[in-house]
Structures are given as C-alpha cells and as structure tokens.
Amino acid sequence: MLEEQYKELDSNKAIGIDGITKEDYGKKLKANLLSLLTRIRKGQYQAKPARIVKIPKEDGGKRPLVISCFEDKIIESTVSKILNSVFEPIFLKYSYGFRSKLNAHDALRELNKLTYNFNKGAIVEIDITKCFNTIKHCELMEFLRKRISDKKFLRLVMKLIETPIIENDAIVTNKEGCRQGSIVSLILANVFLHYVIDSWFAKISKENLMGQTGMVRYCDDMVFVFEMKAEAKRFYDVLPKRLNKYGLNINEAKSQMIKSGRDHAANLAQQGRKIASYNFLGFTCYWGKSRFGTTWRLKYTSRRDRFTEKLKGLRKYSRSQLNKQDKTQTLSQVIRVIR
C-alpha cells in the first residue's frame, strides 16, 4: 500500500525541509519503503518538522499551509485512504467536500433543489473561524475511536496530527488543529464536522425542529435551509453553543440568517426592495427570475472581489517569496478555494 501511495503522489508538489523530491526518494524506493514500514510497525516512526508557506487571503490576512517532507506525505496519503474507507459509509448526504464521486457542482445542485422546494422560509449561512486550525485533538480522537479500535493505527494518526512545524525559526509541536496543506487534514476535518454538525443536525431536524429542513456542507463551508423562519432562528441561536462545546467559533461577520423562498423574493420585487443574498463556495447566491421570467429560481454569481483580490495578492506574494514548486502549490490552493 505504501508503494501504491508513492506512485499516486504528485512529483510537482512543494518539497519539505529535507529537500527530498519524489525522484530522490524513488532511487532507493524498496529500501526506503522497507525502512519506513519497519519504523511504523515498531512504533518508531516520527514525522519530520513541516515548513509553513503563507498564501494571501481576500481579507488581507494570510493562510498558513504546511509543507510536509515527501516520506511523511506517503504516510499521510496512506492514512487518509484508510480513514476514507472507514468513514465514507457513515457520512451523510449533507456532506460534499473531498468525497469520492462528489464535488462542488453537486453541492450547488443540492442547494438549488433544497431552496426551490420552499415558497418561504429562511437560510442560515455559517462561517467557522479558523476551522481547521482550532479542531481539538482529544475530541477528534474520540470520534475516530467510534469506528477504529486499532491502537497502533490511532497512535500513528496522532503522530501525524501533532507533526512539528517550523514557526519563527523554532520547531513547535502542533497541539491544536489539523493544519491545512496536510493530505490527511481533509478527511480528519470531515470526520470531525460529521459528528459535530451533520449527525447532530439530522437528529434535531427529526426530533426538535418543525417543518422541512436541509443543509449542504462542503468541508467547512455550509448553508442550512428551513421551511419555517422561527425554526431557523431557534437553530441559529443554539448552533454557537454546539460549536463552542467542541472548540469551534462562528465568524459572526461572515454568518447570517436571511428570509428566503420564491414567495418572499416575489414580494420584495413587487415592493422594489433588495433581495438578500448569501455566499457559498465562492459564489453569491440570490433569488432571481428564470431566463423567461416565468418563475423565481436560485441564481449564482462569482464573487469577483474575492477572485480579484486573491489573484493580486498571489501575484505579489509569489514574486517575492515563493520558489517555483511553492508557486504551483499555492496556485492550486487558490483555485480550489475560488472555484
């Protein structure tokens, strides 16, 4: 399995602090993989420190991405594949991010279907502050234990989560969060949010909330749909408490509850009032007339300000600080966020 993951890794990805490329590692592939496997079995494997590359964000800040050493990427990829096979069967229909045979277009289609079903109601848009970087390790490991009993494997996962990082010329053990840029961070975030949000929302929708409800989540980007505005308000009030319980916080500046539905949009249009919009996967979502003007439907427009600012920041930053391999890595990350 290690050799399979070696072959699947992209040779153009940025390299870690040891400077070893895929080509370098492959020159003595069998010996290297045997040594790696032996260290894993004996519990002696330890990830090398990862370096940090910071890419510009649209708000003027910078997003830190970890760059692991190549051998550690083999382990990350292997563990990620195992975790996906274990947890994929229990992931709910709400979740679309980084799952096999699902993508952002599927998430948008589901959101369109959900909102079109309601003549009136409300939308709750949620943004979690630094979601990846604030995931609590102890809670995450508890969630993993719900499906995995192998202690050696769990210890290996913990070693990957706690991979040391180099910050301000010092090596620091990662005690909180699943750092973005790590291959395994995507599945770990999905597992965490499955238990914290998806399964909880399914339960309260069935047992506590009135009317029809739905949600669409693409990793940490999520929208909730309610047939009844009062139920949306109840949910919006209690969600922060649920997230706080697991160390997560709502970004209030980027979260909101708005009235929604075809009837609501039509009434606002008749009054000459602005129809509220919300954001999902880099698109601004709003109610508008269909092509022939016969009905109201959900429409999307790309957030040009976000796209433009990201490209400006990327161009400036990549010229001054990144090598060729890092530029490739950064560009792919920006495209993933924007699309």
- State pLDDT tens for residues 132-189: 999 999 999 999 999 999 999 999 999 999 999 998 889 998 999 998 899 999 999 9
The structure tokens listed for 187 are: 């599945």
| pLDDT of 57 | 74
CB 18 within 8 A of CB 48: yes
% residues pLDDT > 90 (the chain): 67
DSSP H or E stretch at residue 213:
strand 213-218
The structure tokens listed for 227 are: 């047939």
pLDDT at 58 over 80: no
The number of beta carbons lying within 10 Å of the beta carbon of residue 213 is 22
**Mean pLDDT (whole number) for 199-207:** 97
N- to C-terminal Cα separation, the chain? 32
The number of beta carbons lying within 10 Å of the beta carbon of residue 318 is 19
Q: Which of 197, 213, 204, 288 is nearest to 250 (CA)?
A: 197
| pLDDT of 301 | 85
Burial (Cβ within 10 Å: 0-12, 13-18, ≥19) of residue 31: exposed
What confidence tier does 119 reach under pLDDT thresholds 50, 70, 90? Answer: confident
More confident residue, 36 or 336: 36
What confidence tier does 201 reach under pLDDT thresholds 50, 70, 90? Answer: very high
**Mean pLDDT (whole number) for 54-72:** 85
Q: Which of 203-207, 209-213, 241-245, 320-324 has the lowest mean pLDDT?
A: 320-324
What confidence tier does 264 reach under pLDDT thresholds 50, 70, 90? Answer: confident
pLDDT at 35 over 60: yes
Q: What are phi and psi of 24, to 5 degrees?
A: -60, -45
Q: What is the pTM of this model?
A: 0.86
Q: How far is Cα 131 from Cα 79, in angstroms, rounded to an integer?
A: 21
Cβ-proximal residues to 119 (8 Å cutoff; 6+ apart), any chain: 261, 262, 263, 264
What is the residue-averaged pLDDT of the chain?
88
| pLDDT of 169 | 85
| Domain extent listing, the chain | 2-338
What confidence tier does 108 reach under pLDDT thresholds 50, 70, 90? Answer: very high
| pLDDT of 66 | 93
Q: How far is Cα 122 from Cα 278, in angstroms, rounded to an integer?
A: 11
Residue 269 CA, distance from chain mean position: 35
What confidence tier does 337 reach under pLDDT thresholds 50, 70, 90? Answer: very low
Q: How far is Cα 265 from Cα 203, in angstroms, rounded to an integer?
A: 30
| pLDDT of 79 | 98
At 68 the three-state DSSP class reads coil
pLDDT at 330 over 60: no
Beta strand extents in 25-119 (DSSP E only): 51-56, 62-67
For 15, 73, 170, 200, 267, the CA distances from 69, given in Å and listed in that order, are 6, 6, 17, 37, 57
State the helix-helix crossing angle for 304-321 and 324-338, rounded to 10 degrees: 170
| pLDDT of 319 | 53
